[in-house]
Chain A
Amino acid sequence: MNRILTALLLVALPLPVAAGEIWVTNEKDDSISVIDVDTLEVVRTIPTGERPRGITFSSDHSRAYICASDSDTVQVMDPATGEILHDLPSGEDPEQFVLAPDDRHLWIANENDAVTTVVDVESRKVVGQIDVGIEPEGMAVSPDGKIVITTSETTNMAHWIDTATNTIFANTLVDARPRYAEFTKGGAELWVSSEIGGTVTVFDVATQAETHKIRFAIPGVNDDLIQAVGIQFTPDGKTAFVALGPANHIAVVNAETYEVEDYILVGRRVWHMTFSPDGSQLFTTNGVSGDVTVIDVASRQPVKSIKVGRFPWGAATRP
């Protein structure tokens, strides 16, 4: 018994005892910066394949999946050790992906190939490829796993894919250069950001009809620099945070009234966001300034900037 305990302790030793970690992919450093949520400091830097962008964890957080875009692969990492366990076939230039609620199917946007690739993470095989528009990027999966969305940046559409048949059942136009898609917590709505259009389009999922268009305006910032990219909903689903790219601000949107309530100043060219495990803090990746801004969610104030690697892009939370 003692021996087993000792063994367990030894295995556990490399793990910092902490309230959680924020994993940030550094696109131009081929690395991940791991931020400790308690100390708000970078505690580990882990090498990855070339040009890491999208990052996500399996639901039990035993695996990290990383889009290594220029290595044309999705890497599977043991988050405890930082060791790459194996690569998944991903199609060319994977940029963003979503892991289906079944924890088994990874849906990947292949930016250079105008396809969405479905990979079975257990068999490590490609089980489907769907032709979509030019430069697919944003990926989202409905909470019930029945619908996957791919947005294509040059075709300016959200493609609605039926996961039972791997076929597109609807195509909806959005504003120029859609970058990111996210279902609301209950799955009734889909939000799609448009970078060049500078808007977020809200769809009713049941009918795929556009119901709202959210626009942004920041005094002193030229309209065409307000470029919506990442979207995150608070755990209660009542508030959305929208990253506005080179406007260097995060918009706070009331998810019930669609009103923009606030703008929070962050670092330069903000891309994506993730919450701390308890939802009290939001971490934003600021590509040009090479740092992460920590926002206190309750007060909507930035509380700290953390230097990470070059061109931080994706972010994911490890409890």
Chain B
Amino acid sequence: METSFARAGGLLALAAALLGGGPALADLSIPMVYLRQEVAAPPVLSNLDPIPEDRGIAGAELALADTMTTGRFMGQTYSLDIKSVAPGDDLVAAAKDALAKSPILFVDAPTEDILKVADLPEAQDALLFNVSSGDRRLRDADCRGNLLHSIPEDAMRTDALMQVLLDRRWTRTVLIVGPRPDDRALADTLKASAAKYGVEILAEKDWTFDTDLRRATGQEIPLFTQDFPDYDILLIADATDDFARYVQDNTWLPRPVAGSDGLRPEGWAPVLEQWGAVQLQNRFEKAAGRDMQSRDYAAWAALRTVGEAVTRTSSADPQVLRSYILSDAFTLDGFKGRSLSYRGWNGQLRQPIAVVNARALVELAPLDGFLHQVNELDSLGLDQPESACTAFGG
């Protein structure tokens, strides 16, 4: 089943009343679509943190409200359609329908589905944002010139974690890997980042429990971790947030954990409070009734990117916007203390990564001392010389 509903400019009447002064610009209308492929989430051990129904969407809606306020001073109106495709339903048909309405799409879907949408003939002159997949492929050989990425690449997050471990000199680690393919992919990303930053992974164990561990963590996990060699910190690769939460404080050695629990690298986290983040958190919480998550932030950043580009170029043409977004002139205030911009060679949004625990921000990466010849933010994730992406003319 496909649901579709519009959030048009409720501020329009107000806008007309307020437009007293300012640059006399031609009225511009910017329709946008949030296109989501719903994915059946695998069962997880704990029900403590259900995935919000409106994950991602709530971020885009907040950005729409923020952007419309600017628009009302500029004679620009924005609207956002939300199309959510149920598992098994026809995403491509929904994408074609969306592209007929708007050349600007925020795509919230698995990697393969994002590529299907980006490769549609109808999408070739459109501007698409990947707001959900951290997969390296999309920034590497499978990049697409019409596809930008506001969600961090997975390696940006694991690199951020390794910067913190290196800074702390916690460079002897061990790794627990979950049984799913995405756990393995996350483990591989962690290992690549560890190698990049000279962090050792001394041993690796597969998570094999198939019981309900909640009643037996205190018996099982000390045993499971007993044969690890001595280490500084335990890494966990659990992409679906299934078992990671039960490891901390149950290990044989009294050591911290990192990765999918404990010390976590995130695009956004509720513990961010500096750099004006509190204002964004408050606005989000007021609108959505919950904390802002990384997916929400990615959707927020994507729509704000469009708003910023429209404001600065006074254009609604996706190609004009794309050129501006990829130019040196573009900067986005992302409430993370540094100006955000896009990597002109693969379309990834450069951004600091918050390395957090449950109660506080630990570090905002890149950390001091991790230098880069272009931009310190490029010390995180795939860098231009390593990337096989050519769709951006690189």
Would B276 and A177 count as touching, CB distance under 8 A?
yes
Closest chain-A Cβ to B283's Cβ sits at a distance in Å of: 8
- Interface locus among B15-23, B33-41, B129-137, B189-197: B15-23
Which residue of the partner chain, among A111, A134, A171, contacts B22 with CB atoms under 8 Å?
A171
* Chain B residues, Cβ within 8 Å of A225: 338
* Chain A residues, Cβ within 8 Å of B376: 222, 224
Chain B contact surface mostly: helix
Would B331 and A176 count as touching, CB distance under 8 A?
yes
Chain A contact surface mostly: loop
Residues of B249-300 contacting chain A, CB below 8 A: 276, 279, 282-283
Q: A156-B311, A198-B339 are in contact. Are A170 and B22 (CB under 8 A)?
A: yes
Would B18 and A176 count as touching, CB distance under 8 A?
no
Would A171 and B21 count as touching, CB distance under 8 A?
yes
Which residue of the partner chain, among A111, A172, A246, contacts B337 with CB atoms under 8 Å?
A246
Q: Please, how many residues of chain B have a CB less than 8 angstroms from a CB on the other chain?
A: 27
Which residue of the partner chain, among A153, A167, A173, A196, contacts B20 with CB atoms under 8 Å?
A167
* Chain B residues, Cβ within 8 Å of A40: none
What would 18 A/B residue contacts be, using CB atoms closer than 8 Å? A112-B279, A131-B14, A133-B70, A133-B73, A134-B69, A135-B276, A154-B70, A155-B69, A156-B308, A168-B21, A169-B20, A171-B22, A171-B23, A175-B331, A176-B332, A196-B339, A198-B339, A222-B376
In this complex, what residue of A is CB-closest to B350?
A224
- Of all A-B residue pairs in the complex, the 6 with the closest CB atoms, nearest first, are A171-B22, A169-B21, A196-B333, A176-B333, A224-B338, A170-B21
CA distance in complex: A111, B331 (Å): 22
Is A160 an interface position by the 8 A CB rule? yes
CA distance in complex: A225, B375 (Å): 11
- Where the two chains meet, the residues of B that have a C-beta atom closer than 8 Å to any C-beta of A are 14, 18, 20-23, 66, 69-70, 73-74, 276, 279, 282-283, 308, 311-312, 331-333, 337-339, 375-377
Closest chain-A Cβ to B377's Cβ sits at a distance in Å of: 8
Taking residues whose C-beta sits less than 8 angstroms from the other chain, chain A's interface range is: 20 to 34
Closest chain-A Cβ to B29's Cβ sits at a distance in Å of: 19
| Other contacts beyond A153-B333, A225-B338: 16, CB < 8 A | A111-B279, A112-B279, A131-B14, A131-B18, A133-B73, A134-B66, A155-B66, A168-B20, A171-B73, A172-B22, A173-B23, A175-B331, A176-B308, A196-B331, A196-B333, A224-B377
